[in-house]
Amino acid sequence: MIKVVLLVMVLGFFMERRMINLNENDKQWLLQLSRETITQSFKNRSAEPQNIPDIFYDKMGTFVTLKKNGDLRGCIGYLIPQKMIYQDVIDNSINSAFYDNRFSPLLKTELELIKIEISILTPPTQFEYTTKEEIIYKMDEKPGVILKNGARSATFLPQVWEQLTTPIAFLTNLSLKAGLSPDSWQYSEIFTYKNIHFSEN
């Protein structure tokens, strides 16, 4: 399940499309926070982060992805900034582990088998187009994409380009994910965003 906050998508038109700059220590701190959050959840406790880097008091959209033996085990996040980064990661870690409707809740025995990946996103922006060729051209940047058609919507993070390497394959599968016809990307609203992502070794 991916929470796409479309009612405030217009914010992306006016917010600077900036990307956060993290060093290796920042990334490891956030990954440890995510794992500690999930670990403490099995003990009915909350993670209590200490020495929070100043950069994580900023508000940006984040996703937390869990993989087990290379396969997706949970992925939930927010495309639009909701909370401070560290708080967003805490929430999304819990939701990815226990509340992704595509999977059963994570078991304690799986904790050592999962690999955590965190994505931090720029605000989405919409682009106008008149032909499908313009859409395909835009995909050369391999952005994250949100597809919206009526009440239906879905997103693929930029990492999905590693599996769906051509624009048509990427957009067709995104249309299907949204519950739309395979070619609906040609006449839907399209928003794009960038991200940085990093994972446990």
d(CA 199, CA 180): 31
d(CA 123, CA 121): 6
Instruction: Give, for 67, the enclosing helix (H) or strand (E).
Output: strand 61-68
Amino acid symbol at 196: I
- pLDDT by 10s per residue, the chain, length 201: 444 434 334 444 334 456 889 999 999 999 999 999 999 999 999 888 999 999 999 999 999 999 999 999 999 999 988 899 999 999 999 999 999 999 999 999 999 999 999 999 999 999 889 999 999 999 999 999 999 999 999 999 999 999 999 999 999 999 999 999 999 999 999 999 999 999 998
Biggest CA pair distance of the chain: 54
d(CA 35, CA 116): 7
Output the six-digit token pair for 118: 């965190």
Output the six-digit token pair for 178: 């949204």
CA distances from 101 to 66, 104, 105 (A): 14, 7, 9
State pTM to two decimals: 0.84
Write down all domains in the chain, each with its CATH number in brackets. Answer: 17-122 (3.30.700.20), 125-194 (3.30.1490.150)
Return the DSSP state at 130: S
Q: How many CB atoms lie within 10 A of CB 89?
A: 26
- Are 147 and 171 within 8 A, CB to CB? yes
